[in-house]
Amino acid sequence: MNAPNQSGWKPGTPVRGDFGLDSGPQTVTGNRALILEEPLIFELGGTDTTGVDLPEPAADAANRLGGFERAETIGLAGLSEPETVRHYTRLSRQNYGIDLGFFPLGSCTMKHNPRLNEKVARMPGFADVHPLQPVETVRGALEVINELAFWLIDLTGMHSVAMSPKAGAHGELCGILSIRAALEARGDAREVVLVPESAHGTNPATAAFAGYRVEDIPTNEDGRVDLEALKERLGPDVAAVMITNPNTCGLFERDLKAISDAVHEAGGFVYCDGANFNAIVGRVRPGDLGVDAMHINLHKTFSTPHGGGGPGSGPVVLSEALSPFAPLPYTARTADGVVHLVEEEQADEFAREHFGGPLHHFGRMTAFHGQMGMFTRALTYMLSHGADGLKQVAEDAVLNANYLLRSLEDVLDAPFAKAGPCMHEALFSDDGFAGDLSTMDLAKALIDEGFHPMTMYFPLVVHGAMLVEPTETESKASLDQFITALRSVAARAKAGDESMKAAPYYAPRRRLDETAAARKPKLVWTEE
């Protein structure tokens, strides 16, 4: 394959490749796909060579393996040290990540993880802590958990927090189980949880897993929950509504207080999916909007890129009404303003003193306290920004998303842009693409521009959805480069550039069968 001639190229000038096509692939950024081609290690080195010279054993050496020595070779590829180092270094570069470039995935918050976080998380007192260590040896770690809990309670204006859930979805389960415990305690079995059409798939899954029947709440033409339709559906069978705020269309649910009032009046609880809290942290306290339970994705809102395969952490903040039904352990603020970590031994006494009755906890979410590495990263992030800095984080994230929205709305359909500014992510549709060109084709062409695609086909309420979340950590220069690339591929999609159907051209792998890759992965190399 001939790579296009790069000499004399200037940013913003289309470059055509020589693929024998009339309208060949082009890029405006000068980037060439994401990665280098790299064979498997077995294809690089033969099993008949070796990278090390070991002395032959002495002829009279005693065989100390007692008959267990290997009868056949194990067939490892023999490579020299530099070959081996290069192989793994190149492989590591195939891992596209936030340290390599802009990651526009919406509904995921892929943001830069300051190195300071990593330094603190790796301090032996945090990194090597073991859950079964005697309590008196982990006082510092417990203090970190408590301080983080204090920040979360403070920033959300809520009453208590369960730190143990391991990720957002686990936090949802924790919140819904608390709601169920509260309803059961008052002998009020309710069956239904209402979830808006635009919700993340984990919301209905959580409600169903906790034994509830899920019903949709319609979205209005502004991309927000239809308040009147919701009010109409409320009744004695509705246990809770689950609402994401800001929602997955990247919009603030302005009616959340009115929704909470209506739900409470009907005897239900309000669960807020707080995965998008990064857009409003320091500016809005969910507790003031009548929320009863909300999970916070520490790995989205308080740094640590989401989706890197590492652990997440999904603490759940609870209202005063739900606090007596928290899991164990949990952390609560008392009337004197002090935050207490409550363990099983003190649970009843603590609840009698502060809630006027025993704790009706539903058990534990996990055996231990939670994700220490995530706690240290999140608290480091909070302390290094300070309360004012966190507010600025939210404002900059929203500013960046609106800059993208306004820079692209003339070339991409932005279904809710007329209704006003967006929050932390900008939503576009495939309306106006020529012929059968699709969001998928645009995303693949974007790879040729050196950019990871945005979230596609989510939320489902928008046709061919493209959800772009820049986060606060991107500079104007990096946003401008992304905008240049996206404007170019959007214009090609509208002009009917059929060459996009075979993109990416510059990536070592072209269009894959993504279903088979996920369902039937080949994980073992066999010689054929």
Residue whose CB is less far from ligand PLP, 31 or 366: 366
Candidate list 113, 178, 244, 380; residue touching ligand PLP; CB under 6 A? 244
Residue 206 CB, shortest distance to ligand PLP, in Å, is 9
In 3D space, the residue among 297, 183, 198, 286 whose CA is nearest the CA of residue 240 turns out to be 183
Q: Which has the closest alpha carbon to 272: 236, 296, 255?
A: 296
Residue with tokens 């899991």: 327
Q: How far apart (Å, rounded) are the C-alpha atoms in residues 234 and 399?
A: 36
CA distances from 516 to 34, 154, 168, 521 (A): 22, 46, 27, 7
Q: Is 275 in the site for ligand PLP (CB under 6 A)?
A: yes
- Rounded to 10°, the helix 372-408/476-495 angle is 50
DSSP 8-class letter at 135: G
What are the counts of helices (DSSP H) followed by strands (DSSP E) for the chain? 15, 14
Min. distance of Cβ 263 from ligand PLP in angstroms?
Answer: 19
Secondary structure E strands in 255-307:
269-273, 293-295
Q: Which of 32, 111, 200, 361 binds ligand PLP (CB under 6 A)?
A: 200
Of positions 158, 169, 332, 468, contacts ligand PLP by CB under 6 A: 169
Helix (H) or strand (E) holding 264: helix 256-265
Instruction: Considering the complex, state which of residue 172 and residue 448 has its C-beta at the smaller distance from ligand PLP.
Output: 172
Nearest CB to ligand PLP, comparing residues 90 and 166: 166
Q: What angle do CA 506, 509, 513 make, to 5 degrees?
A: 135
Instruction: Return all residues near 441 (Cβ < 8 A) that are at least 6 apart.
Output: 493, 500, 501, 503
Continuous segment of H or E residues that includes residue 160: strand 160-162
Dihedrals phi, psi of 51, to nearest 5 degrees: -90, -10
Phi, psi for residue 258 in degrees, rounded to 5: -65, -35
| Residue 39 CB, nearest approach to ligand PLP (Å) | 34
Residue 409: name the closest of 425, 436, 423, 428 by CA. Answer: 428
Pick the closer one to ligand PLP by CB: 312 or 415: 312
Q: Strand, coil or helix: what is 218?
A: coil
Toward ligand PLP, which CB reaches closer, 170 or 180?
A: 170
Q: Which of 163, 167, 173, 437: binder of ligand PLP (CB under 6 A)? A: 167
Chain positions 442 to 501 lying near ligand PLP, rule: CB under 6 A, are: none
Q: Looking at beta carbons only, is 273 or 472 nearer to ligand PLP?
A: 273
- 3-state SS assignment for residue 50: coil
Site for ligand PLP (CB under 6 A): which residue of 29, 160, 178, 297? 297
Give me the residues paired with residue 216 across strands.
Answer: 195
Burial of 72 per CB tally in 10 Å (0-12, 13-18, 19+): exposed
Q: Out of 168, 268, 450, 459, name the contact with ligand PLP by CB under 6 A.
A: 168
Q: Restricting to residues 394-433, which ones interact with ligand PLP according to CB under 6 A?
A: none
Distance CA 375, CA 369 (A): 10
| Residues in region 87-126 near ligand PLP by CB under 6 A | 107
The pair of structure tokens assigned to 286 is 């969910």
How many residues touch ligand PLP (CB under 6 A)?
13
Least distance between ligand PLP and beta carbon 374 (Å): 11
Q: Is 250 in the site for ligand PLP (CB under 6 A)?
A: no
Nearer to ligand PLP by Cβ, of 202 and 439: the residue is 202
CB-nearer residue toward ligand PLP: 350 or 381 = 381
Which residue in the set 29, 245, 248, 471 belongs to the binding site for ligand PLP (CB under 6 A)? 248
160, 202, 371, 471: which one contacts ligand PLP (CB under 6 A)? 202
Among positions 273, 425, 430, 448, the unique one binding ligand PLP when judged by CB under 6 A: 273
Nearer Cβ to ligand PLP, position 28 or 173? 173
Distance of closest approach, residue 307 Cβ to ligand PLP, in angstroms: 8
Residue 273 CB, nearest approach to ligand PLP (Å): 5
Q: Is 196 in the site for ligand PLP (CB under 6 A)?
A: no
Least distance CB 298 / ligand PLP (angstroms): 9
Q: Are 131 and 146 in contact (CB under 8 A)?
A: no
Site residues (vs ligand PLP, CB under 6 A): 107, 167-169, 200, 202, 244, 248, 273, 275, 297, 312, 314
